[in-house]
Amino acid sequence: MRTIGVTGGVGSGKSALLAETEQRYEQRVLVLRADDIANEVKEPGGLCYNKIVSVLGTDILEEDGTINRRRMAERIFRDDALLQEVNAILHPAVRQAVKDKIAALREQESEAADSATPEILFIEAALLIEENYKADILDELWLVHAPREIRRERLKENRGYPDEKIDAIFDAQQTDEGFLAHADRVIDNSGSFAEGVRNLLDAVEEVLTGQNVVPAGQNGMPEE
């Protein structure tokens, strides 16, 4: 099983491309999504539930004890210090949960007599670079890339975001240069959805058939 991180700036389309790829390859490809894991570790009994409640207070809880995501978001996004404190709890917990899931899959892989485990495990997250997942989790890091102006138009059209909100998100994320500097492979998603899917499927086929992965900087990206 090869573990491949997939990242990209907001509006790059990484989630949609991975969903399509996972559906096409069924059991051969599995996607772990950091957003889903973050929700898991915030559930009662999760890795960071008690710490988050301790920091934010019980008024963020529903009657059944689960964390109300809207109330939590309202609390932390109006207080930078509080946001940083919660992120310092949440991000390491997500990272550890990812490692635990990979370990469980590898154990299953070593015990399975058939092809029940995936050949490629994609880990989708926005902070793979910042949290240094390449150090001990990933075999490779792939970037789904589209220029900022294309991503801006997608965010306006698909999510209704105003320019001010888009600018704030862009400022909080890696620059295009920062993303590209860390990528082992770049998946171009600056065109249509079908073109982006084809580019990702081509890369997946190379891994599944044992071909060499294209080195960073030699990935066929068009010049901007």
* Residue 215 belongs to some domain of the structure: no
pLDDT at 59 over 90: yes
Of all helices (H) and strands (E), which one includes residue 3? strand 2-7
- Copy the structure tokens of residue 198: 């084809």
Token pair 């920062």 is found at: 178
* Residue 220 belongs to some domain of the structure: no
* Residue 221 belongs to some domain of the structure: no
**What pLDDT does residue 224 have?**
40
Token pair 């990528």 is found at: 183
pLDDT at 37 over 90: yes
* Residue 27 belongs to some domain of the structure: yes
* Residue 97 belongs to some domain of the structure: yes
> Domain range holding 88?
2-208
Please state the domain count of the chain: 1
CATH number at residue 133: 3.40.50.300
Per-residue model confidence as pLDDT tens digits over 61-90: 999 999 999 999 999 988 889 999 999 999
In 3-state terms, what secondary structure has residue 73?
helix
Q: How far apart are CA 151 and CA 190, in angstroms?
A: 8
